[in-house]
Homo-oligomer: A and B are copies of this chain.
Amino acid sequence: MKMSQSFVKTLRSAPKDETARSAQYLVRAGYIYKELAGVYDYLPLGLRVLEKIKNIVRDELNKIGCQEVQLSALQNPKLWEKTSRWDDQSVDIWFKTKLSTGGELGLAPTHEEPITNLMKTYLESYKDLPVYVYQFQTKFRNELRAKSGILRGREFLMKDLYSFSPDESTHQKFYHEVEQAYARIFKRVGLGAETFETFASGGIFSKYSHEYQTFLPVGEDTVYYNKDKSVVLNKEVLTDEVLSDLGVKREDLENTTAAEVANIFTLKYKYSEPLGLEFTSKSGERKTVYMGCYGIGISRVMGVIAEKFADEKGLVWPESVAPFKFYLIGIGEQGTKKAEEIYEKNPDLFLFDDRDARVGEKMADSELIGVSFRVVVSDKTLAEDSVELTERKNSEKKLLKIDEFLAKL
Contacts and interface: CB of A to CB of B under 8 A. Distances in A.
B71 A36 contact: no
A142 B100 contact: yes
B97 A41 contact: no
Interface stretch (A117-125, A327-335, A362-370): A117-125
A97 B107 contact: yes
Interface string A248-276: 00000000000000000000000000000
SS of A interface (majority): mixed
Contacts of A39: 72, 74
Contacts of A65: 5
Which of A98, A100, A121 has most B Cβ within 10 Å?
A100
Contacts of A5: 65, 67
A98 B95 CA distance: 7
Interface stretch (A7-15, A307-315, A393-401): A7-15
Given A7-B123, A9-B122, A69 B93 contact: no
Interface string A135-160: 00010101110000000001100000
A41 B70 contact: yes
A120 to B, nearest CB: 11
A245 interface: no
A121 B71 contact: no
Interface residues of A, number: 56
A154 B74 contact: yes
B121 A11 contact: yes
Contacts of A143: 100
A300 B245 CA distance: 55
A178 to B, nearest CB: 17
B122 A41 contact: no
A42 interface: yes
A29 to B, nearest CB: 13
A70 B93 contact: no
Copies of this chain present in the complex amount to: 2
A99 B142 contact: yes
A72 B155 contact: yes
A35 interface: yes
Contacts of A164: 7
A68 interface: yes
A52 B121 CA distance: 26
B43 A105 contact: no
A390 interface: no
Interface in A22-46: 33, 35-36, 39-44
A128 interface: yes
Contact of A35 (B68, B72, B96, B144): B72
A90 interface: no
A131 interface: yes
A73 interface: yes
Nearest to A27: B121
A92 B99 CA distance: 12
A41 B118 CA distance: 9
Interface in A81-113: 92-93, 95-101, 105, 107
A202 to B, nearest CB: 26
A76 interface: yes
A243 interface: no
Nearest to A101: B144
A191 interface: no
Given A97-B96, A101-B144, A133-B7, A33 B70 contact: no
Nearest to A41: B71
Contacts of A140: 73-74
Given A47-B68, A101-B144, 11 more contacts: A5-B67, A7-B123, A40-B72, A41-B70, A44-B69, A50-B70, A73-B140, A74-B155, A95-B97, A95-B98, A107-B107
